[in-house]
Structure 1
């Protein structure tokens, strides 16, 4: 593999610029204290209750300062790639320092789960009472944004001799959600993409099975069916039944020569469907697509264990996301080994712990993270570092990471999909983590119309605006007030703008803008997956699961598709690259990318009993949220806050990404 030239970077590796390991933490007088203000949980927006029971479980990440921070920043900016061993030699704390922190943790009743030597972090699980005694804080019941848990109130204080620089995980309120959008009514037993039930319910209800001219059938490919005789938009089709693996490969413009490469692909989520390989290959056989030959899962806990300790994570429901990730990745890169890492919960502390393990195992070329939170505000600096350390290590050791940007537009909607039970308390735009980290590539969403001949006849952003058509023979329409469905985008409140965005993004000159790139995400032009559906009551399975086919979209589909394409590009060009985003911005305006700029040009028609003349959806609209406010995301020429720099343009992208 080619590595970027390190001449300019390694020139600074002198005894004057590299901090020796033994000197990374200076000696401190006995009894001196360190106040960890970077770990203090903000009480803004929290509803605090009584002190938490002492046995309340908590997962923490104890952080030591990494060495040579300035050098790390310069190497990251230069796009340098080094071996994992070299990374550890340059930046890791000493074994003695890690042992000192490990000893401190054990002395306070904490159980050490993982020691991330390269990242300078010790991951533990413990209880509220031990957290209180170790850090001098009070752990209280708390809730925010519809999530209930506990939060450590007060500023943590420890003996300076321990060497801690931060503690992440002092609040259990940060819980990720999968960023997928299920097309309601799409469940079926076969991949015959004409559902068998009549329309029922609201605008996303089932479609009819009757196949006639002016048909109410879903379209296998764009334009196969269109019910209304009056066309509201220049490009229209009945909604897509759900693309299959061959279609995803065509959408990404993959050729046989490119797909002969077999880069290893990594996926991060929580929980695990133990039948994933057999489910996937049942689907591939039915679709007449190559089987997935190499699949390895590393679950940190079973779904039953997660359900018992963190029921809000809905591990059985997350199995559909696992299907999306695995089956879309395989569709794009059918020869790639896939490594799935399932965290023991959807809490940040457990996800970042599993991410660190993935990066240190170093088995993969790319990592896709199809989840996130609707807010990055309120992240403590230590919580942010728990994400950023493994992401930056991935960059510097040649692993490209990707994070979905969300499915509720700018997250200003009080009833948006990604916002939890409590919705958005301030009704302002937000963007979540890890998508807004400067050390990952944030993936937004598009709407893609693929013809039966395999050409892209419709290709626009994803921000759904819903209208009731007056009649099938009239273009008159009225807006339906419906919660926003659309790719996430916005401006970070915690990450400053990276150099590769300066002068290219239009929404901020000081803070990180999201997204960076886009992929197929609209559920009305979605992808068929095979997953296991469970009858549930309040998220708890009440019976055995049943395998079925469903149609999904969401930026959680876009992220693994983009990641798999980048993995193929790296393998095709035999290059070792970390963060893909800087190169994507360098390609802005070239034929390597497709610039998506088609506001209100493309529509999907959806028959509905609630609206007799049906629902027409502007797939790249400018939606108004349920509060009657127009969101601030809109596609435009060049970079925009829906699709970033655009979509990856097939072989042109593959050849240019090096």
Structure 2
């Protein structure tokens, strides 16, 4: 909530939570209910036109029923003019529902800002924490994290990615797959905790309240940041709704910029699919990150709910 508010302080913000999570259904029912509550709204209109979701599961671990139900929710959201933004995940690889063609998948970057508020660098987010023990030894890789991204084995390439995402990324090279697939993420923003957002936590104890300040990140940061940026765009007039067609139409313009050089080539670790272009943001070499200084032209009518 605070991250969206930081980007769009003039917008109306609504927090919707599920009523519980169970291991049996991955907590899916509560999450479905929360998203449906936004879409159903008052019965006449959705509660919001933008929804930021900071949750997901890897492709391999998700039953087909889960994927099908979430797809139906996302198709309906697009028909109602609601943009559904999903964190791409904090491990290399493809997550759902972010990989759904009707989801707006938000990846993560490491961003350096200069003293004059200029962008010094921006690259794919990937961290590896090292721990030095009391006896002087190092626990290598005690904590690894990176922005999720890659080529989906579930979904075919949607129309809005054709001609923009290169075949070297859209073809996973796994099994007998010869048809281009859906690539995620669609857009990215800062997610690295070292270049992320300052957060304050307060804890009530018997002797009084205590608090601590720390840096926070992850695609659970980047997703609401992008959602907040889109809210700012909508405040200028119009409703963007399902934004992917508009985002991909910006490719090659000065509204977006490359997060990584196109010559970088590193296989993904712990990913379900070999990702030849980038360890961290498979599609972002060509799909790029949104420049918040330049707003896309809002769409005033929601898109038709057809196969993208």
The TM-score normalised by the length of structure 2 is 0.76
The aligned counterpart of 1:646 is 288
DSSP-derived class of the 1:578 partner: coil
For residues 456 and 621 of structure 1, do their structure 2 counterparts lie closer, same or farther at Cα, with a shift above 3 Å needed? farther
Q: Aligned-residue CA RMSD in angstroms?
A: 3.4
CA distance in 2, matches of 1:525, 1:376: 31
- What residue ranges of structure 2 are gaps of 5+ in the alignment? 22-26, 132-139, 172-178, 300-308
- Is 1:561 aligned with 2:198? no
CA distance in 2, matches of 1:621, 1:554: 23
The aligned counterpart of 2:189 is 519
DSSP-derived class of the 1:342 partner: coil
- Is 1:365 aligned with 2:49? yes
For residues 621 and 450 of structure 1, do their structure 2 counterparts lie closer, same or farther at Cα, with a shift above 3 Å needed? farther
CA distance in 2, matches of 1:516, 1:364: 21
DSSP-derived class of the 2:95 partner: coil
- The answer to whether the 8 Å contact 1:464/1:622 transfers is no
CA distance in 2, matches of 1:365, 1:433: 21
For residues 644 and 409 of structure 1, do their structure 2 counterparts lie closer, same or farther at Cα, with a shift above 3 Å needed? farther
- What residue ranges of structure 1 are gaps of 5+ in the alignment? 1-325, 411-430, 469-479, 536-542, 601-619
The aligned counterpart of 1:457 is 120
The aligned counterpart of 1:220 is none
The aligned counterpart of 1:530 is 200
The aligned counterpart of 1:409 is 92
The superposition leaves residues 146-186 of structure 1 with CA deviations (integer Å, 9 ceiling, x where unpaired) of xxxxxxxxxxxxxxxxxxxxxxxxxxxxxxxxxxxxxxxxx
The aligned counterpart of 1:341 is 16
For residues 515 and 366 of structure 1, do their structure 2 counterparts lie closer, same or farther at Cα, with a shift above 3 Å needed? same
CA distance in 2, matches of 1:498, 1:448: 29
CA distance in 2, matches of 1:385, 1:624: 27
The superposition leaves residues 214-261 of structure 1 with CA deviations (integer Å, 9 ceiling, x where unpaired) of xxxxxxxxxxxxxxxxxxxxxxxxxxxxxxxxxxxxxxxxxxxxxxxx
The aligned counterpart of 1:632 is 275
CA distance in 2, matches of 1:379, 1:503: 31
CA distance in 1, matches of 2:265, 2:194: 14
- The answer to whether the 8 Å contact 1:395/1:577 transfers is no
CA distance in 2, matches of 1:399, 1:357: 12
CA distance in 2, matches of 1:516, 1:375: 17
- The answer to whether the 8 Å contact 1:409/1:633 transfers is no
- Is 1:583 aligned with 2:243? no
DSSP-derived class of the 2:226 partner: helix
The TM-score normalised by the length of structure 1 is 0.37
For residues 394 and 552 of structure 1, do their structure 2 counterparts lie closer, same or farther at Cα, with a shift above 3 Å needed? same
The aligned counterpart of 1:89 is none
DSSP-derived class of the 2:122 partner: strand
Residue 377 of structure 1 and its aligned partner are, at CA, apart by 5.4
The aligned counterpart of 1:434 is 97
CA distance in 2, matches of 1:633, 1:519: 21
CA distance in 2, matches of 1:443, 1:644: 14
CA distance in 2, matches of 1:527, 1:466: 18
Residue 363 of structure 1 and its aligned partner are, at CA, apart by 2.2
For residues 547 and 391 of structure 1, do their structure 2 counterparts lie closer, same or farther at Cα, with a shift above 3 Å needed? farther
Residue 464 of structure 1 and its aligned partner are, at CA, apart by 3.3
Residue 405 of structure 1 and its aligned partner are, at CA, apart by 0.5
CA distance in 2, matches of 1:488, 1:568: 26
> Of the two, which has the highest radius of gyration?
1
DSSP-derived class of the 2:100 partner: coil
DSSP-derived class of the 1:582 partner: helix
For residues 435 and 633 of structure 1, do their structure 2 counterparts lie closer, same or farther at Cα, with a shift above 3 Å needed? farther
For residues 432 and 355 of structure 1, do their structure 2 counterparts lie closer, same or farther at Cα, with a shift above 3 Å needed? same
CA distance in 2, matches of 1:342, 1:364: 14
The aligned counterpart of 1:327 is 2
CA distance in 2, matches of 1:462, 1:533: 30
Residue 577 of structure 1 and its aligned partner are, at CA, apart by 2.6
The aligned counterpart of 2:213 is 549
Q: Which of 466, 488, 499 pairs up with 2:148? A: 488
CA distance in 1, matches of 2:249, 2:84: 18
Residue 553 of structure 1 and its aligned partner are, at CA, apart by 0.7
The superposition leaves residues 88-113 of structure 1 with CA deviations (integer Å, 9 ceiling, x where unpaired) of xxxxxxxxxxxxxxxxxxxxxxxxxx
The aligned counterpart of 1:301 is none
CA distance in 1, matches of 2:150, 2:209: 38
DSSP-derived class of the 2:293 partner: helix
The superposition leaves residues 254-288 of structure 1 with CA deviations (integer Å, 9 ceiling, x where unpaired) of xxxxxxxxxxxxxxxxxxxxxxxxxxxxxxxxxxx
Higher relative contact order (CA 8 A, sep 6+): 2
- The answer to whether the 8 Å contact 1:496/1:511 transfers is yes
DSSP-derived class of the 2:14 partner: strand
Residue 595 of structure 1 and its aligned partner are, at CA, apart by 1.3
Q: Which of 29, 33, 47 pairs up with 1:353? A: 33
For residues 335 and 571 of structure 1, do their structure 2 counterparts lie closer, same or farther at Cα, with a shift above 3 Å needed? closer
DSSP-derived class of the 1:336 partner: coil
Residue 597 of structure 1 and its aligned partner are, at CA, apart by 1.6
- The answer to whether the 8 Å contact 1:461/1:598 transfers is no
Q: How many residues align?
A: 270
